[in-house]
């Protein structure tokens, strides 16, 4: 399981946007797919906590959603590059 704290800012640490983009860009396809799976699990857990009002940081949902979009964008760009 990938450590999502390396890709998402939280209360303890701030991750710069260019660092996130660089890490996503440098990761290979298998890592990105694993990271995407971990993000899906994390967002499910966060939404469950949000419903029960046990969520510590509601902004984390937004950060995870954006990370999912970045990963999918990178995977689609790589697929288009191979197809071309």
Average pLDDT over all residues of the chain: 90
How do residues 12-34 score in pLDDT, each as one tens digit?
778 888 888 899 999 999 999 99
Q: What is the pTM of this model?
A: 0.88
Per-residue pLDDT 10s for the chain (84 aa) are: 567 877 887 767 788 888 888 999 999 999 999 999 999 999 999 999 999 999 988 999 999 999 999 999 999 999 999 998
Cα distance between residue 57 and residue 47, in whole Å: 11
Q: Domains of the chain, with CATH numbers?
A: 29-84 (1.10.287)
Task: Report the candidate in 25, 20, 22, 18 with the shortest Cα–Cα distance to residue 5.
Answer: 20
Which DSSP symbol is given to 8? S
* Widest distance between CA atoms in the chain: 47
């Amino acid at each position: 399981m990938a450590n999502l704290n390396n890709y998402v800012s939280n209360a303890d640490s701030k991750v710069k946007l260019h660092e996130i983009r660089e890490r996503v860009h440098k990761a290979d396809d298998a890592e990105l797919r694993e990271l995407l799976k971990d993000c899906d699990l994390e967002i499910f857990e966060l939404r469950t906590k949000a419903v029960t009002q046990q969520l510590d940081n509601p902004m984390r949902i937004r950060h995870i959603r954006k990370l999912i979009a970045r990963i999918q964008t990178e995977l689609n760009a790589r697929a288009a590059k191979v197809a071309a």
